[in-house]
């Protein structure tokens, strides 16, 4: 169960620099995740389901969804 009394400290500048409450909300959230949450990377969604390799840096032209076009073609031969 989460500790309800657990607190975070945010810089005054976040509030002063963000007169818009909506923008402030997203900045606070971002600050919180950058400073208080586990820094482990979120699971990588960019993985080819055929070969299991990372496709996050592949040109869109060579992908179908997150899979290599090459792998899809090879599989369907």
Rg (CA), the chain: 20
Nearer to Zn ion among residue 36 and residue 62 (C-beta): 62
Window of 12-20, 33-41, 44-52, 56-64 that interacts with Zn ion by CB under 5 A: 44-52
Smallest separation (angstroms) from Zn ion to the CB of 69:
9
Element (H, E) at 68: strand 67-68
DSSP letter, residue 58: S
Report the candidate in 50, 53, 54, 44 with the shortest Cα–Cα distance to residue 75.
50
Window of 16-24, 29-37, 45-53, 57-65 that interacts with Zn ion by CB under 5 A: 45-53
Q: Does 50 bind Zn ion (CB under 5 A)?
A: yes
Q: Does 48 bind Zn ion (CB under 5 A)?
A: yes
């Amino acid at each position: 169960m989460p500790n309800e009394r657990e607190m975070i400290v945010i810089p005054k500048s976040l509030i002063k620099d963000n007169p818009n409450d909506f923008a402030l909300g997203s900045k606070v959230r971002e600050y919180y995740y950058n400073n208080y949450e586990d820094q482990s990377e979120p699971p990588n969604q960019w993985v080819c389901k055929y070969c299991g390799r990372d496709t996050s840096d592949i040109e869109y032209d060579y992908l179908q969804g997150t899979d290599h076009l090459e792998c899809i073609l090879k599989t369907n031969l």
